[in-house]
Structure 1
Amino acid sequence: MTAPTQMGTSHWRISMTKIRSGLRLIAVSAAVALGLGSVSAAGDTEAEETLRLHLGSYGTYFEYSNHGEPIKQKITTPHKKKSCQLIDVNGPLAALSGSDYGPGLKDGAIGIKSGNDNGTPCSLVDPTEDLTLSLGDVPDALQVALDLELKGDVRVQIVLSHGGVPAGTFEVRSGGGIVPGEGVDGSTKAPFTATATTAEPIANCLNGSASSGINDNCYVTIIPLGPFDAITFKPLSGKMSLEGGGDYGKKKGKDFETVFTLVDYDGWLGCDDETNSVTIEESTVYGDITRLQNTDGSECVSKPYNIDVDVTADTLSFVPHDNPGAPQPSAYQATLRFSPETAMIPFASLLEYDQDDDGPLPFQIMPWCTGDPFAGANGSINTTVIPTGDTWCVVSASTDLVGEGEIRTTWNVVGIGDPKFR
């Protein structure tokens, strides 16, 4: 079985190796995959699921890609002469809304259709206005890369939300809106880029805000702590437009479209009794995974996860994902059962793992814990009971007679980090 993939994510697997009366080991896979990672728009595109906003000479649309046939949502304006107000802004992939008469589109730029001429109607958002883009029937976003056109002494407040609840506030500055000593400076040459994270929420774009073409554009990446399904732009000074690569031309436009990187999670794991565990059982495969308190005593931040069972392969995969910019020193406890086995020697099965996840080191037998991992651990595990050089250990194992000549082993294990087990 192949565990669910996530860019920058490691996996771990557990499998039972069966020993029968001096015969060779016969392996039957029973995998549990764990991973930590962040999604990067410039990373492993094979693992990405995206929603792209394209605004250029060869099309005006949203495009959803999930490794199947891409789905497009056209963006259109009324068929009235000189009108630039958007219609059909509540599509299946995304919706646009805003103040005044709502969103408008002109010359490859989305702004607000205002009641008066604020520069260029429809293509700009000014300090009296706001523009919101909401995701539709697609997974939540984990981060976004924005093609922004910035005019004047710009300070744009960008608020992310999830289910109507704020999920992060950021600020993009340009020109005279930049305050010396505040924020993280972006690149100094075109194409201009900048990045804002929860730890560093102010991005300084060093583009020429009085220029044209790509020189007044800034490609801004926003990386929050958690997922979001809506983004609101509110200029505090200056003006801005939301664009989709059109100013960069046909050759480079695809590289500078506004792109939401999406992740479809099965659920979330916190560290309290109501949110810290997930159980799955299909046929003979059973797994109960509990997230414990962080090993360093730091505040627990919920982690999304994916979980899956392959009954034919006798596997269970569980992949938690760290929020970008906020890696958690997490610890886990797992109870696992797989298909019954015919065995003459109880407890002869072994767990093996690869500590460096597909690295040069070979798989090795997972050791038993040298003591009680929960003694004095303040809700986590005492990592000193894991033998030196290892990151996981077996707490206990038990066998039950489930049929004539068949036994079933239940494994209880604890560990940290993100190696691969089998």
Structure 2
Amino acid sequence: MTKIRSGLRLIAVSAAVALGLGSVSAAGDTEAEETLRLHLGSYGTYFEYSNHGEPIKQKITTAHNKKKDCQLNVNGPLAHLSGSDYGPGMFKESIGINSGDNGRPCGWVKETEDLTLSLGDVPDALQVALDLELKGDVRVQIVLSHGGVPAGTFEVRSGGGIVPGEGVDGSTKAPFTATATTAEPIANCLNGSANSGINDNCYVTIIPLGPFDAITFKPLSGKMSLEGGGDYGKKKGKDFETVFTLVDYDGWLGCDDETNSVTIEGSTVYGDITRLQNTDGSDCVPKPYNIDVDVEADTLSFVPHDNPGAPQPSAYQAMLKFSPAAATMSFTSLLEYDQDDDGPLGFEDMPWCIGNPFADPDAVGSIDTSVIPAGDTWCVVSESTDLVGGGNIRTTWNVVGIGDPKFR
């Protein structure tokens, strides 16, 4: 984060900031996260999208005929299921692959089979909590993708599929849980093997580096089912549904004149943030971004998100103006930032550039990154302070940087 400190007085950023593109949310906002939930239980079989309004449901039904008794046709506005053999199938409260056999095999995904769940007309997901039923010496490869581009590969292991010294162990008592991240992509589920209630289930949370819109399950050994809280009963089932946590972007930034800027207007901070050409001269791929105002922390955060599997060496220029509600006695101001976004202890003064970043850019239309002092990712090109109406002080900052800029 970056903050403006004018003199000894911290300038608060108003919640009334209006954006030319997208929207602003303030800290303390009681809106819940947007989610897509898969519920498979005694009181319904459906996907449910929470959109800060009336929830939207998409029912899940089987074919209900002798030849395709367990076959699913899930292709609605919220989600789509696909898979190998005859495609996805369902037995009671378990989704698997329809291998052509009747009965329970429809509720399993086995070796050589794969099952894919794709998001529909909902925002991308940032993470997912999966209710998985696991049987045997399980090793399930889980591949996330975004727009068909791989966004992360993870593995869930159970029973004899667990290799000592590999992966992160989950909980040792029911309800069994485990977590896989990009840094630790193997999750070991220490669930039991008995086919009774929740004892063979594992609630696995997958946290990738970036957003995704599809997830594919590929058992390397053993077998698995995708479930939605049904084995946990009516009281606890809601807590163990398969849940995608979604992110709703405020906009997208390209590198051309029509798509490369976001404008912040009014209140105590305003100006423009512009994406420049990539520093290595590579083709520009549009990036989604979010802007948030946290009134309590006095922060303005601008966060572009890399496309998974295709990171962009982006450069930015920001022209920001800060106007406190009342003038201070000093025109001296400092710009501080937390380039790693690791909290108040990480804040430091943003340094001045040691040269003109536009004189000899690394690539046409970009900046000269060598003018950014070592150890920093942003620098100040110029700053001016003047009096505005009512004797208020206004500071204008011209800054450039690489990576993901975050201001306050």
- Alignment TM-score, normalising by the size of structure 2: 0.69
SS at 1:176 equivalent: helix
Kept after mapping to 2: 8 A contact 1:153/1:209: no
Kept after mapping to 2: 8 A contact 1:134/1:229: yes
SS at 1:342 equivalent: coil
Kept after mapping to 2: 8 A contact 1:193/1:219: yes
How far 1:231 sits from its partner (Å)? 0.7
The whole-number CA distance in structure 1 between the counterparts of 2:387 and 2:311 is 42
The whole-number CA distance in structure 1 between the counterparts of 2:194 and 2:6 is 81
Kept after mapping to 1: 8 A contact 2:12/2:324: no
Q: Percent identity?
A: 90
Q: 1:173 to 1:41 in 2, by over 3 A?
A: farther
Kept after mapping to 1: 8 A contact 2:169/2:190: yes
Q: 1:278 to 1:34 in 2, by over 3 A?
A: closer
How far 1:333 sits from its partner (Å)? 4.7
1:403 maps to 389
Kept after mapping to 2: 8 A contact 1:296/1:329: yes
Kept after mapping to 2: 8 A contact 1:50/1:261: yes
The whole-number CA distance in structure 2 between the counterparts of 1:39 and 1:153 is 48
386-395 vs 250-259, greater mean Cα deviation:
386-395
What is the count of residue pairs matched by the alignment? 404
Q: 1:23 to 1:309 in 2, by over 3 A?
A: closer
How far 1:149 sits from its partner (Å)? 0.2
The whole-number CA distance in structure 2 between the counterparts of 1:217 and 1:42 is 36
SS at 1:274 equivalent: coil
Kept after mapping to 2: 8 A contact 1:160/1:166: yes
How far 1:354 sits from its partner (Å)? 11
How far 1:210 sits from its partner (Å)? 3.6
Q: 1:280 to 1:388 in 2, by over 3 A?
A: same
1:49-93 CA-to-partner distances (Å, cap 9, x unmatched) read 11000000111110111222111111112246992222x410100
How far 1:110 sits from its partner (Å)? 0.5
Q: Which runs of 5+ in 1 are unaligned?
A: 1-15
How far 1:211 sits from its partner (Å)? 3.4
- Alignment TM-score, normalising by the size of structure 1: 0.67
63-72 vs 395-404, greater mean Cα deviation:
395-404
Kept after mapping to 1: 8 A contact 2:291/2:301: yes
Kept after mapping to 2: 8 A contact 1:293/1:300: yes
How far 1:412 sits from its partner (Å)? 1.6
Kept after mapping to 1: 8 A contact 2:146/2:214: yes
Q: 1:209 to 1:294 in 2, by over 3 A?
A: farther
Q: 1:359 to 1:410 in 2, by over 3 A?
A: closer
Q: 1:54 to 1:292 in 2, by over 3 A?
A: same
1:216-246 CA-to-partner distances (Å, cap 9, x unmatched) read 0000111112111111111111111000000
How far 1:148 sits from its partner (Å)? 0.2
134-143 vs 258-267, greater mean Cα deviation:
258-267
Q: CA RMSD in A?
A: 7.0
How far 1:328 sits from its partner (Å)? 13
Kept after mapping to 2: 8 A contact 1:21/1:345: no
Q: 1:184 to 1:343 in 2, by over 3 A?
A: closer
63-72 vs 252-261, greater mean Cα deviation:
63-72
Q: 1:157 to 1:168 in 2, by over 3 A?
A: same
1:52 maps to 37
How far 1:336 sits from its partner (Å)? 2.4
How far 1:355 sits from its partner (Å)? 12
The whole-number CA distance in structure 1 between the counterparts of 2:232 and 2:53 is 27
Q: 1:398 to 1:139 in 2, by over 3 A?
A: same
Kept after mapping to 2: 8 A contact 1:34/1:317: no
How far 1:307 sits from its partner (Å)? 3.8
How far 1:286 sits from its partner (Å)? 5.9
Aligned mate of 2:373, from 374, 380, 387: 387
Matched, 1:283 2:267: yes
270-279 vs 153-162, greater mean Cα deviation:
270-279
How far 1:169 sits from its partner (Å)? 1.2
